[in-house]
């Protein structure tokens, strides 16, 4: 199944293309670490059970708020690779509407080539982070 990049939010499409250009797994990991390092500082106060992503081996936290109808995510993880996956999602999804986020399917991970490099528990973690972000986007929409 080939994914149409047009169906993705522009920022996410750009990230997918960036990963497609990184031919070998090592380069993709380096890119993930780069994203992790770019992630803004996450407030300690937000590291609460309500913001914790369930089903992840590492500690992952995500918050979502609405700014002018667009979702703004923040997050953190104690694992660099997981933090990279989280940062990739945050960068790719920030500034989109809750509806756009809820309609997305996580297939784009295959387009990045990362799915072949991820261990089963990391791939599962990615899905859990993605699902949590969708849930939080939906909550933002319901609260507005």
Q: Annotated catalytic sites, by residue?
A: 56
Could you write out the three-class secondary structure of the chain? CCCCHHHCCHHHHHHHHHHHHCCCHHHHHHHHHHHHHHCCCCCHHHCCHHHECCCCCCCEEEEEEEECCEEEEEEEECCHHHHHHHHHHHHHHCCCCHHHHHHCCCCHHHHHCHHHHCCHHHHHHHHHHHHHHHHHHHHHHHHC
């Amino acid at each position: 199944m080939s994914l149409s990049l047009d169906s993705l939010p522009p920022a996410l499409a750009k990230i997918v293309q960036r990963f497609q250009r990184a031919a070998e797994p090592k380069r993709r990991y380096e890119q993930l670490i780069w994203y992790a390092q770019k992630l803004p500082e996450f407030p300690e106060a937000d590291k609460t059970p309500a913001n914790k992503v369930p089903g992840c081996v590492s500690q992952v936290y995500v918050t979502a708020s609405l700014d002018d109808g667009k979702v703004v995510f923040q997050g953190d993880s104690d694992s660099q690779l997981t933090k990279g996956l989280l940062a990739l999602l945050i960068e790719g999804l920030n500034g989109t509407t809750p509806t756009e986020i809820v309609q997305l399917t996580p297939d784009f991970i295959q387009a990045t080539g990362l799915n072949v490099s991820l261990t089963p528990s990391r791939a599962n973690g990615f899905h859990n982070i993605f699902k949590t972000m969708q849930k939080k986007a939906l909550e933002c929409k319901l609260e507005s």
